[in-house]
Amino acid sequence: MTPGKCPLNLYRGDTYAWRFLFWTDPDKTVPADLTGVVAKAEIRDKPGGAVIVPLTIAVELPNVITAKLDANASAALPTAAAWDLQLTFPNGDVSTALAGPVAVTPDITDSTPPVGTKLRAVA
């Protein structure tokens, strides 16, 4: 199955939390049973590339997965990356539920200048 598309548009250095609900029907009337499911998500520099940061994931029964990205972790992100959410079921089946690009807007307040940059005051 092709993962659902879920781009993440982030602001560097901010905290994020997402709540994903899973259903077994298109009308979203029958919750999926996530009992025993292990979920994980990572932001990488590109698909198959180096892991930049894992997201903190929790499964809330019957059908909710929460994901969190703390401020320190989002501060380490480049301006472009990729992510996905992978589910491993008790029988060993693996399914990628969501995936997409990660776009990060550089922050202003509390940003750290690149190494070697000289700061000067403007009057």
Q: How confident is the model at residue 108 (pLDDT cuts 50, 70, 90)?
A: confident
pLDDT score, position 120: 53
Q: Determine the CATH number of domain 4-102.
A: 2.60.40
pLDDT score, position 115: 52
| Domain spans, the chain | 4-102
Note the residue count of the chain: 123
pLDDT digits 0-9 by tens, 56-95: 999 999 999 999 999 999 999 999 999 999 999 999 999 9
pLDDT score, position 45: 94
How many whole angstroms separate alpha carbon 83 and alpha carbon 51? 10
Q: What is the mean pLDDT of the chain?
A: 91
At 82, the amino acid letter reads: A
What pTM does this model have? Answer: 0.85
Decide if pLDDT at 123 tops 80.
no
Cis amide linkage into residue 62, ω under 30° from 0: yes
Helices (H) and strands (E) in the chain, counts: 1, 9
Phi-psi region at 92: left, alpha or beta (left = phi > 0; alpha = psi -120 to 50): left
pLDDT score, position 117: 47
- Helix (H) or strand (E) holding 16, with range, is strand 16-21
At 9, the amino acid letter reads: N
